[in-house]
């Protein structure tokens, strides 16, 4: 992956198309306001995002193993939440 680039918000606005194309090709761009970073412009990576989702689901399933609600049903929890 190419190195991260840092540009000011005015520069990013002025050369929007150029930076959009660079991000689309894998470059991460940090946008600053008065020299302070305030957002990151980076390409979307569906495979990485799906891996993160899968890992989160696995973590939740592992956390849930062996945990019980001491006789409280899902229906009772749902009804309690509606009150």
pTM of the model: 0.50
Instruction: Kindly list the structural domains of the chain, giving each domain's residue range(s) and its CATH number in brackets, ordered by start.
Output: 1-83 (3.40.1620.10)
Q: What is the structure's pLDDT at 65? A: 78
The count of C-alpha atoms lying within 13 angstroms of the C-alpha of 74, restricted to the half-sphere facing its C-beta, is 0
Average pLDDT of 59-79? Answer: 81
pLDDT digits (tens, 9 = 90+) for 46-61: 677 788 888 999 998 8
pLDDT digits (tens, 9 = 90+) for 1-38: 556 889 999 999 999 999 998 888 888 999 999 999 99
Q: What is the structure's pLDDT at 42? A: 83
């Amino acid at each position: 992956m190419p190195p991260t680039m840092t540009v000011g918000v005015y520069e990013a606005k002025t050369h929007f198309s150029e930076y959009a194309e660079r991000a689309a090709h894998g470059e991460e761009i940090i946008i600053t306001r008065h020299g302070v970073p305030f957002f990151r412009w980076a390409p979307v990576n569906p495979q990485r995002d799906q891996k993160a989702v899968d890992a989160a689901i696995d973590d939740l399933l592992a956390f849930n193993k062996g945990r019980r609600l001491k006789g409280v049903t899902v229906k009772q929890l749902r009804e309690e939440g509606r009150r």
